[in-house]
Structure 1
Amino acid sequence: MKKTFLLLTFLILFVASNSFGQAKQTYEIANLKQILTSHKTVAILPMRVTISYKKFPKNYNAADNAVQEREEGINMQQGMYTYLLRKSNDYFVTFQETQRTNILLKQANIFDKIDAITADSICKILKVDAVIQAGYAYQRTGSEAAAIAKTLVFGFGGSTASGSLTMQINDGKDGNLLWRFYKQMNEGVFSTADEMMQRMMKKVARNFPYEK
């Protein structure tokens, strides 16, 4: 009995340590602080959202899914801007209004081609010192209807999807990667794109390099 208990304890600790080790990763260039001192204005690009399914729902349509990915990417971009704007006194840079960012990207005919353009070229178009690029990939793993029912009965519904957030900052002078953050995420029931972005930014906040 004692051996079984010790074995279970070891397994739990082993799994937990590996889970936490993979849950969050942060990278920053060696002279990050020195480079950031020259930054004044930073743009937030539309997020790259990828939605997949563990089991395809009825009437799944790839075209509709692509539209949803695009819309959520823009909503999360705006959610990040709103979050940073509310806490603007905490940062030593200003963030370009997302509407202006998107208009300039469309005028340059690269709004849907961001992944094919270098970061320094994008910065020149937007006239900013750096860009924040982020991606959120998640897989629907649970039934939303079941999660809603659990929420109404028990007060919580658990997560309906599992995914990962990747966020990075690229310099406007040479396009080099300055900072990168990775975090595993779970999406709960009733989570909108804006709510998800608020949750993400709270997790990023402690590591965000533009804080004073």
Structure 2
Amino acid sequence: MKKIFFAALLLTTVLVNAQKNIYESDKFDDLTDNHEVLAIIPFLANLELKDDISKEELRTLEQKEGYAVQNALETYFSRRKKKKKFSVEFQDVKNTNAILAQNNIDYNTIDVYTTKQLSEILGVDGIISGNMDLNVLLSKGIPTEFSFMDYFSGDANYGRIGVKISDGTTGKLLWKYEKKINKKSGKNTTDLIDRMMKLAARKFPYDREKRKDRKQK
């Protein structure tokens, strides 16, 4: 009985902390009333690895991590979409990246374009983007074994990730979710995104039921 109680308490604490790291614009409903399609673009990664590698190699690894998050988010939304959870569609990331390439936009230049410009180029209503700071290669998988001493050595912390959604017409920030990455976050990029988005599911603004409830109030 005690184990069940503590497990429930831990889950509640995790969920509460997840909600604290979420921002939603008070104009979300007005700005997204006609939203139909969102595009997920590669995330901007900043790696601080202990390995002695060249700047060129580091940039290549950062790019790999950025695309890994893009793919992981698409996987998450695709799975949830089967349950009819969302009020919008998500552009296939292969199409997103192909259109960007056709317009001479790659990982190294995507951050010089505004949300409004990218939305117009991609033909979508909004952009899902983000950034992350890592001291490990999350896409390769990370150790999940945890010990109390990890807190003191710093080996439990791998960085931080931020996911945001911006309106394509105005460029305004609509929603943002930030989370620290540690040994309990997930064993790889797909696992991390799946876990963190599930924690934020109740606060995800494009949830079909959530939007329906808000309109009825």
TM band (smaller chain): 0.7 to 0.9
Counterparts of 1:96-175 in structure 2 under 5 Å?
A: 96-112=91-107, 113-140=109-136, 156-157=145-146, 161-175=157-171
- Contact 1:161–1:188 under 8 Å retained in 2: no
Aligned partners of 1:193 and 1:22: how far apart in 2?
A: 18
Q: CA deviation at 1:206?
A: 2.6
Give the stretch that moved more between structures: 84-93 or 175-184. 175-184
Quick check: 1:177 aligned with 2:173?
Answer: yes
What residue is the counterpart of 2:37 in the other structure? Answer: 41
What residue is the counterpart of 2:152 in the other structure? Answer: none
Q: Could you tell me which amino acid in structure 2 is paired with residue 104 of structure 1?
A: I
Q: 1 or 2, which has the higher strand percentage?
A: 1
1:9-61 Cα deviation digits (max 9, x unpaired) = xxxxxxxx9xx8799422222221232221000000111121114xx23x433
Considering only CA atoms, is the larger Rg found in Structure 1 or Structure 2?
Answer: 1
Q: Could you tell me which amino acid in structure 1 is paired with residue 160 of structure 2?
A: S
Aligned partners of 2:132 and 2:99: how far apart in 1?
A: 23
What residue is the counterpart of 1:93 in the other structure? Answer: 88
Aligned partners of 2:176 and 2:118: how far apart in 1?
A: 18
What residue is the counterpart of 2:211 in the other structure? Answer: none
What residue is the counterpart of 1:82 in the other structure? Answer: 75
What residue is the counterpart of 1:62 in the other structure? Answer: 55
- Contact 2:186–2:192 under 8 Å retained in 1: no
Aligned partners of 2:185 and 2:179: how far apart in 1?
A: 19
Q: CA deviation at 1:174?
A: 1.7
RMSD between aligned residues: 2.8
Ranges in structure 1 where 5+ consecutive residues have no aligned partner:
1-16, 141-146
1:175-195 Cα deviation digits (max 9, x unpaired) = 111122222221469822222
Quick check: 1:71 aligned with 2:64?
Answer: yes
TM-score, length-normalised on structure 2? 0.73
Q: CA deviation at 1:134?
A: 1.5
Q: CA deviation at 1:172?
A: 1.1
Aligned partners of 1:202 and 1:136: how far apart in 2?
A: 19
- Identity, % of aligned pairs? 28
Q: Could you tell me which amino acid in structure 2 is paired with residue 33 of structure 1?
A: D
Cα gap change, 1:40 to 1:21, in 2 (>3 Å):
closer
What residue is the counterpart of 2:198 in the other structure? Answer: 202
Give the stretch that moved more between structures: 194-203 or 107-116. 194-203
Q: CA deviation at 1:165?
A: 1.4
Cα gap change, 1:208 to 1:174, in 2 (>3 Å):
same
Q: CA deviation at 1:62?
A: 3.0
Q: Aligned with 1:174: secondary structure?
A: coil
Q: CA deviation at 1:64?
A: 1.8
Aligned partners of 1:123 and 1:200: how far apart in 2?
A: 25
- Contact 2:116–2:170 under 8 Å retained in 1: yes
Q: CA deviation at 1:81?
A: 0.4
